[in-house]
Amino acid sequence: MLAGAALADATAYVGAMVIDGSGAPPHHTSVLVEDGRIISLGGDIAGASVVDLSGKWLIPGLIDAHVHFFQSGGLYTRPDVIDLRHVVSYEDEIAALRARLDETLARTFAAGITAVLDLGGPPWVLALREHARSLAAAPRIVAVGPLLATWAPQEITGDAIVLVETPDQAIAEVRRQAAQSVDMIKIWFIRRGQGQTLAAAESWIAAAMDEAHRLGLRVAVHATQLETARSALALGADMLVHSVDDAALDPAFLAELGDRVPYIPTLGVYDAYWRVLGQSLGLNALDHRYGDRQVLASLDDLSQMSREQRPHWLRFGDPPPINPVMLDNLASAHAAGVIVAAGSDAGNIGSLPGAGFHRELALMAAAGLSPMAVLDAATRDAAKALGRDDIGTLAPGLRADMVVLDADPLADIANAARIHRVIKDGIAHDPDAILAGLSNNR
């Protein structure tokens, strides 16, 4: 154990109630950090610089296990859902969000999120992953590349989605992405209509999974129907990135998930779509705190458009309640010991980076998970989804990514948003100062 002069470059965070992510109950202890790593919890801190956190709570850095940086969260970001390209072109939308990516990273980080999993986008997201490593106030990024898809909407141009139809094509695409150093492979398993059989898709999905596993890459799958999710598991999926929303998870399915396949419920993304498209926004204090002003303004644009500009199918009104099947399936998965990871699907219409994640945590609690279970899903178990064993908990040798809270998150998971400081690699950052410095907050 280092001591005295040997700790001159170390920092001791003392006085806080610590939730270390191991499953142990909260306890008062010191956390000693040096060179970006945790040296000890509760050890000798003589000679270290001391930061007094009396009255605060200290938790592992939050992890959003489902984001998309090629989507802004604004009204024009998914023309395949609502086509408003006659108002704002898709090319202009992408150019605008790319110009603000540093701000998006900062907003995400200020919300206490020290790591994310980008689950599909153009190859430039991989460059963003590298860029984020050079920024002090930005989350760590784990990223997949373009989605390997059973269907590719024509409205989304560019190279975020690759339509795959044959096993040979699937193998070639997996190899191409592996050569670009993706962190995993993502399959967009969409079954459109009852006339579309699973067999054709299963043949190439199986080939893609086999090749990915041969190359040491895990495979994440978007499959929201029980039938497609069951097929994905049978073919070797390593992660399900959305809730099954059309039927209850049965015991056999839960056993197949077991404690090896993370399940990311993304409860809030559908609610966000309904709120924006129905112009019943219900924006809260966190949306305004963390939201990009340009993106927030776009969410209200539908109410300002003429009937000729709006799609004919659009109807304004209050959103329906969250799909109870999704809530029940989350509760069942948690009760069965499945790895449940928190993910917001940030970037989709109305799902704002940072704010959307805290909304997701509230919905997970509404599904019946305890605050501790939700916190585990947002830290330790989300780290498992990212494939990272150096973050997600507080223990000697791990990266010193932490969040200091002003209130007890176990009393109310909403307190996970009462952020005093965000700590990455042992360096503390003031979220108020980060947000105040952003151009779209002025």
Residue 11's DSSP bridge partners are 33, 49
Per the CB < 8 A criterion, the answer to whether 62 and 379 are in contact is: yes
> Are 8 and 152 in a shared domain?
no
Residue 299 falls within a domain, yes or no? yes
Strands (E), 169-324: 184-188, 218-222, 239-240
User: Which tokens belong to 187?
Assistant: 């399959």
pTM over 0.85: yes
How far apart CA 14 and CA 48 sit, in angstroms, is 11
How far apart CA 16 and CA 409 sit, in angstroms, is 13
> Are 275 and 225 in a shared domain?
yes
> Are 158 and 174 in a shared domain?
yes
Residue 438 falls within a domain, yes or no? no
* Residue span of the structural domain in which 295 resides: 62-386
Last residue of a domain, one of 348, 370, 386: 386
Nearest to 3 by CA among 39, 38, 44: 44
- Residue 346 phi/psi, 5-degree rounding, is -55, 140
Q: Is 234 exposed, middle or buried (0-12, 13-18, 19+ CB in 10 A)?
A: exposed
> Are 313 and 180 in a shared domain?
yes
Residue 198 has what pLDDT? 84
Specify the CATH number for the domain of residue 43.
2.30.40.10
The percent of the chain in helix, strand and coil, each rounded to the nearest 5, is 35, 20, 45
Residue 441 falls within a domain, yes or no? no
Total of domains in the chain: 2
How far apart CA 257 and CA 334 sit, in angstroms, is 11
Last residue of a domain, one of 386, 404, 423: 386
How far apart CA 431 and CA 442 sit, in angstroms, is 15
| 32 secondary structure, DSSP code | E
Per the CB < 8 A criterion, the answer to whether 129 and 442 are in contact is: no
> Are 236 and 146 in a shared domain?
yes
> Are 45 and 111 in a shared domain?
no
Residue 6 has what pLDDT? 67
User: Which tokens belong to 356?
Assistant: 């959307």
Last residue of a domain, one of 371, 386, 401: 386
Residue 125 falls within a domain, yes or no? yes
User: Which tokens belong to 404?
Assistant: 């200091």
Residue 378 falls within a domain, yes or no? yes
> Are 335 and 372 in a shared domain?
yes
Sequence-separated (6 or more) residues with CB below 8 Å from residue 206 = 167, 235, 236
Residue with tokens 């024009």: 76
Query: Which region holds residue 279: left if phi is over 0, alpha if psi is between -120 and 50, else beta?
Result: left
Local confidence pLDDT in tens for the 442 residues of the chain: 444 456 779 999 999 999 999 989 999 999 999 999 999 999 899 999 999 999 999 999 999 999 999 999 999 999 999 999 999 999 999 999 999 999 999 999 999 999 999 999 999 999 999 999 999 999 999 999 999 999 999 999 889 999 999 999 999 999 999 999 999 999 999 987 555 678 889 999 999 999 999 999 999 999 999 999 999 999 999 999 999 999 999 999 999 999 999 999 999 999 999 999 999 999 999 999 999 999 999 999 999 999 899 999 999 999 899 999 999 999 999 999 999 999 999 999 999 999 999 999 999 999 999 999 999 999 999 999 999 999 999 999 999 999 999 999 999 999 999 999 999 999 999 999 999 999 777 5
| 258 secondary structure, DSSP code | T
CA dihedral for 300, 301, 303, 304, sign (positive or negative): positive
Residue 440 falls within a domain, yes or no? no
> Are 83 and 160 in a shared domain?
yes
Reduced to 3 states (helix: H, G, I; strand: E, B; else coil), residue 336 is coil
Burial 61-95, CB ≥16 within 10 A → b, else e: bbbbbbbbbbbbbbbbbbbeebebeeebebeebbe
Residue 442 falls within a domain, yes or no? no
Residue 192 has what pLDDT? 72
Nearest to 204 by CA among 170, 230, 249, 232: 170
How far apart CA 111 and CA 104 sit, in angstroms, is 11
> Are 339 and 398 in a shared domain?
no
Residue 152 falls within a domain, yes or no? yes
In the sheet that 147-149 helps form, which strands lie side by side, from edge to edge?
161-163, 147-149, 184-188, 218-222, 239-240
> Are 22 and 154 in a shared domain?
no
Q: Is 325 exposed, middle or buried (0-12, 13-18, 19+ CB in 10 A)?
A: middle
Burial 9-26, CB ≥16 within 10 A → b, else e: ebbbbbbbbbbbbeeeeb
> Are 95 and 168 in a shared domain?
yes
How far apart CA 384 and CA 387 sit, in angstroms, is 5
Specify the CATH number for the domain of residue 279.
3.20.20.140
Residue 119 has what pLDDT? 98
> Are 377 and 416 in a shared domain?
no
Nearest to 238 by CA among 387, 391, 117: 387
| 79 secondary structure, DSSP code | T
